[in-house]
Amino acid sequence: MIAKIKSLLGLKRTKQHKTDFSNFFCTASSGQKKKLLLEVVRDANKDQRELVKSYNRTNPA
C-alpha cells in the first residue's frame, strides 16, 4: 500500500534500465547515438545492395 501511495505522489525511485541497449540510449551522448545509428544504416544498406545483386545474378532480366 505504501508503494502505491509513493508511486501516486511521484516518490517512486527512477526506473532502472533493464538492458544494455536501453541503457545506451538513455545515457549516451547524441554524438555517440548518431555514430552508432549511421553505422547501422550503412550496414543495412550494404546488406540490401548485396541481396539485390544476388537476386539479379540468379534471376537475369
Domain assignments of the chain as residue spans, ordered by start: 29-61
Name the average pLDDT for the chain. Answer: 86
The identity of residue 15, as a single letter, is K
Kindly report, residue by residue over 17-45, the tens digit of the pLDDT. Answer: 588 888 888 899 999 999 999 999 999 99
The identity of residue 1, as a single letter, is M
pTM assigned to the model: 0.60
Sign of CA dihedral 27, 32, 36, 42: positive
pLDDT reported for residue 42: 97
> What's the rounded mean pLDDT across residues 6-25?
74
Residue 13 pLDDT greater than 70, yes or no = no
What long-range pairs does 48-53 form, CB within 8 A, spacing at least 24?
none
Cα distances (Å, whole numbers) of residue 3 to 6, 13, 15, 17? 5, 10, 14, 20
